[in-house]
Structure formats: C-alpha cells, structure tokens
C-alpha cells in the first residue's frame, strides 16, 4: 500500500459543550471558526474529514444521577447534541457517533462508529489515513482520549493547539493532557504552521 495520508478529526463541537450549553467548555465556541478553516484546507487538499459527536441516552452511567461524573448532556436527538450551528460540516464528512451505550463513558472517538456501524479505526484504515490531526472539545477529555487511542492504533497524531479548549475541572488539566499527549508521541500544529500535501501531510511546529 502507498504511504498513508492525513485526515482531520473534529471532536464533539456540539451545543452542550459551548457556553450556554449543559456542560460548557470555557471558550468552547472559539474553536468553531478555526476548525472551519482547517476543514476547508483538508477538503482543498482532497483529504478526509471526520466529525465525532457525543450521543448519550437519557439514562447512562456517564451521568451523575446514575453513578457517573457529569450533568446530562448531548442527549440523542436534542438541540444540545446538535453540532454548533456555525460549524461547517461538509456533506462528505464522516460522522462518528459515540456514547450511545448506557454502560460506557466513551470519551474516545475510537469507541464510536460511522453511520454504517463501522468502527472508526476500521474506517480510517479503509480510507488510508495514517496521520490524524485532532481538534475540538474538550482537550482534557474527548480530545485527549481520542488522540491517545489514535497513537495506540499506530497513527501519527498532531494536536491542533489553536482549535482545542478544555474543561479544566482541576486547574491545569488541559495543560497536563497536552503534556501527556506529547509524551505519548503526538506533535502539535496551528493554522500558521500547518503544511498539507495531497495524499500526505506534515507540520513544521
Ligand atoms: C466530553 C465530558 C463528558 C467531551 C464528553 O466531549 O470531552 N467531556 N462527555
Ligand atoms: Zn459525554
């Protein structure tokens, strides 16, 4: 097989994760225009884009009320679970749905599936993606878990520093997550440092 190409993963940019939502990430809405620009650049280079969404049932052990951590959020079919209205999701984007199982938290997009029911990792393999660029919400939960799983899958991972924001339940959680990701082998990029080529990508940060 030819050397793989890059893909973009936009993690959980949903109404409940931005200010005004049920589980707001401070400044979560600020990632939207930046991610729109990343999406345009990937599409212009002919590279695939993936959008994960948190998609919970009303009862799940993910929620505080049923033994978990969080207030109810991103409940299937509600407005809070919809992508942010200004997020540009191209028609050929692949939506990755996770968190639908009431028995698991599913922080990672790699616990999610395509609309056809295919696990995310398999879809990436079929698409020839070997380098995943990751942005979205939240740095210290779903971005962290997705990037760590991507590394475990043997993918090259670049975290998009200008397109992530964290919850910071404990102050410093997001910074610690980024340090952990670098330690695990991820690199980082911003719009200014991004260098994409058709069928391949590298960054210079
Ligand atoms: C997330 C907390 C709970 C996330 C999802 O998308 O980062 N965080 N569920
Ligand atoms: Zn959740």
pLDDT at residue 3, rounded to an integer: 73
How many CB atoms within 10 Å of residue 113?
Answer: 17
Residue 45's domain comprises 5-203
The percent helix, strand, coil of the chain (3-state, each to 5) is 30, 25, 45
The best mutation among 10, 17, 66 to test binding of ligand 1, ranked by most ligand atoms within 8 Å of the C-beta, falls on 17
Q: 67 alpha carbon to ligand 2 midpoint, in Å?
A: 14
For residue 138, give the ligand nearest its CA: 1
**Ligand 1 and 137: CB distance under 6 A:** yes
Quote the CA–CA distance of 160 and 90 in Å, as a whole number.
Answer: 19
How much is the pLDDT for 1? 47
Q: What is the pLDDT of residue 204?
A: 47
The alpha carbon of 53 and the centre of ligand 1 are apart by a number of angstroms equal to 10
* CATH number of domain containing 178: 3.40.50.850
Residue 33 Cα to ligand 1 midpoint, Å, equals 20
Q: How far does Cα 158 stand from its chain's mean position?
A: 12
Which residue do the tokens 């393999």 mark? 125
Number of domains in the chain: 1
Per-residue pLDDT tens, the chain, 205 aa: give them. 457 899 999 999 999 999 999 999 999 999 999 999 999 999 999 999 999 999 999 999 999 999 999 999 999 999 999 999 999 999 999 999 999 999 999 999 999 999 999 999 999 999 999 999 999 999 999 999 999 999 999 999 999 999 999 999 999 999 999 999 999 999 999 999 999 877 654 444 4
Q: What is the pLDDT of residue 199?
A: 60
Q: Cα separation of 59 and 75, whole Å?
A: 9
Nearest ligand 1 atom to alpha carbon 14: 6
Q: How many helices (H) and strands (E) does the chain have?
A: 4, 8
SS3 state at 112: coil
Q: Which residues are catalytic?
A: 12, 98, 142
Integer Cα distance of 190 and 205 in angstroms: 8
């Amino acid at each position: 097989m030819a050397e793989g190409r890059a893909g973009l993963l936009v993690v959980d940019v949903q109404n409940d994760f931005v200010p005004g939502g049920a589980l707001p990430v401070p400044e979560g809405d600020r990632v939207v225009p930046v991610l729109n620009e990343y999406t345009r650049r990937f599409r212009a280079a002919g590279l695939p884009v993936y959008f994960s969404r948190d998609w919970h049932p009303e009862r799940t052990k993910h929620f505080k009320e049923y033994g978990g951590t969080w207030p109810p959020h991103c409940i299937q079919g509600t407005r809070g679970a919809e992508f942010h209205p200004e997020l540009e999701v191209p028609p050929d984007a692949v939506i990755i749905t996770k968190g639908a199982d009431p028995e698991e938290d599913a922080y990672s997009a790699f616990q999610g599936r395509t609309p056809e029911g295919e696990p995310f990792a398999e879809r990436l393999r079929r698409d020839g993606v070997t380098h995943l660029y990751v942005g979205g919400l939240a740095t210290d939960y779903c971005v962290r878990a997705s990037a760590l799983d991507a590394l475990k899958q043997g993918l090259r991972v670049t975290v998009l520093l200008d397109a992530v924001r964290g919850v910071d339940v404990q102050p410093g959680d997001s910074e610690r997550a980024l340090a952990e990701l670098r330690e695990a082998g991820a690199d980082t990029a911003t719009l200014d440092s991004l260098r994409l080529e058709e069928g391949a990508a590298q960054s210079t940060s």
